[in-house]
């Protein structure tokens, strides 16, 4: 028997990158995966790769900064495959480059907080009550190494929003633990997603590699395997942690 047999796992932002890899691994482990994003064609491609490997997947779309969209997604999932038992609040990202504080526009600041911290809050708010009522569930949030220490190379608004995701996770874990729900956070360092592999020049990749005690950059599969650990009973007595998946580059 695979480790996620009988579970329904929603992975937000799984049309590509880290989320797509988590969805593929969870499906291979027996979960009925719910793929989510905004790009229907990209979602269909991930869906096809999962079903070609005999996995089960449903596709939903919506904007995770909009609570109405999340509620509509929850209703669809419950009608089609049953309640979500594993939630990976992965959707997010940074849309602006690093800049001095005084050069950050209020609009860019709000967009980073909205797209990462508020989106994670709304996603948990939508799915946690059902998990608490059923007395079981596992939630995984996505922070970043950018949130683990100040750095001129990290976009400040994004890093601050992701630091908020860490505290949100810990507080929610304290609230949800007595109801049988575990909530943990992953903080990845530079991960070689399809996009990063092409956008980060080879020389910069080599320089970044040398900053890691484990002399390579991370892969989406490194993050997916950490998520699998936090989703299964292998981590049954772990909640409220921030797990650095960072090749040793964050040593706190």
Residues taking part in catalysis:
158
Closest CA to 128 of 98, 168, 87, 165: 87
Q: Report if residue 15 touches ligand NAD, rule: CB under 6 A.
A: yes
CB nearer to ligand NAD: give 190 or 228.
190
Interacting positions 98-117 with ligand NAD (CB under 6 A): 115
Q: Are 148 and 244 in contact (CB under 8 A)?
A: yes
- Which of 90, 123, 154, 235 touches ligand NAD by CB under 6 A? 90
Give the list of residues 6+ apart from residue 197 with CB closer than 8 angstroms, or none. none
- Which of 30, 83, 93, 240 touches ligand NAD by CB under 6 A? 93
The whole-angstrom separation of Cα 74 and Cα 161 is 25
**CA 174 vs CA 43, 52, 115, 143, 241: distances in Å:** 34, 40, 24, 18, 11
- Which of 22, 70, 88, 119 touches ligand NAD by CB under 6 A? 119
Which phi and psi (to 5°) does residue 142 adopt?
-125, 110
The whole-angstrom separation of Cα 98 and Cα 158 is 9
- Which of 7, 9, 13, 55 touches ligand NAD by CB under 6 A? 13
Q: Report if residue 193 touches ligand NAD, rule: CB under 6 A.
A: yes
Shortest CB 159 distance to ligand NAD, Å: 10
- Which of 125, 149, 195, 215 touches ligand NAD by CB under 6 A? 195
Q: Report if residue 55 touches ligand NAD, rule: CB under 6 A.
A: no
Q: Report if residue 142 touches ligand NAD, rule: CB under 6 A.
A: yes
Q: Report if residue 40 touches ligand NAD, rule: CB under 6 A.
A: no
Closest CA to 163 of 113, 123, 105: 113
Judged by CB under 6 A, which stretch of 44-52, 132-140, 149-157, 186-194 contacts ligand NAD? 186-194
For β-strands 32-37 and 137-142, DSSP reports them as unpaired
Q: Report if residue 230 touches ligand NAD, rule: CB under 6 A.
A: no
Total chain residues near ligand NAD (CB under 6 A): 26
- Which of 4, 19, 169, 173 touches ligand NAD by CB under 6 A? 19
Q: Are 131 and 181 in contact (CB under 8 A)?
A: yes
Judged by CB under 6 A, which stretch of 14-22, 51-59, 71-79, 130-138 contacts ligand NAD? 14-22
Helix residue ranges, H only, 91-246: 106-112, 119-134, 156-176, 194-199, 202-210, 220-231
Q: Are 27 and 55 in contact (CB under 8 A)?
A: yes
Strand partners, 35: 11, 59
Judged by CB under 6 A, which stretch of 3-11, 71-79, 191-199, 227-235 contacts ligand NAD? 191-199
Structure tokens at 150: 């100040």
Binding region for ligand NAD (CB under 6 A): 13, 15-19, 37-39, 63-65, 90-93, 115, 119, 142, 144, 188, 190-191, 193, 195-196
């Amino acid at each position: 028997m695979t480790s996620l047999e009988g579970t329904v796992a929603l992975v937000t932002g799984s049309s590509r990158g880290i989320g797509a890899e988590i969805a593929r691994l969870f499906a291979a482990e027996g979960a009925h995966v719910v793929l989510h994003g905004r790009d229907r064609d990209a979602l269909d491609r991930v869906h096809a790769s999962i079903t070609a490997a005999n996995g089960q997947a449903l596709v939903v779309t919506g904007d995770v900064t909009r609570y109405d969209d999340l509620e509509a997604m929850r209703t669809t999932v419950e009608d089609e495959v049953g309640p979500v038992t594993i939630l990976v609040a992965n959707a997010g990202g940074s849309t602006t480059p690093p800049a001095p504080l005084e050069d950050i526009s209020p609009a860019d600041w709000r967009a980073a907080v909205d797209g990462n911290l508020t989106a994670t809050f709304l996603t948990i708010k939508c799915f946690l009550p059902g998990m608490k009522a059923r007395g079981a569930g596992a939630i995984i949030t996505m922070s970043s190494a950018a949130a683990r220490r100040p750095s001129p190379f990290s976009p400040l608004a994004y890093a601050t929003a992701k630091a908020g995701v860490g505290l949100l996770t810990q507080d929610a874990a304290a609230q949800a633990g007595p109801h049988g729900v575990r909530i943990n956070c992953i903080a990845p360092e530079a991960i070689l997603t399809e996009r990063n592999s092409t956008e980060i020049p080879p020389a910069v990749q080599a320089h970044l590699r040398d900053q890691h005690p484990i002399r390579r950059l991370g892969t989406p599969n490194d993050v997916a395997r950490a998520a699998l650990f936090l989703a299964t009973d292998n981590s049954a007595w772990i909640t409220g942690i921030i797990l650095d998946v960072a090749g040793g580059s964050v040593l706190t």
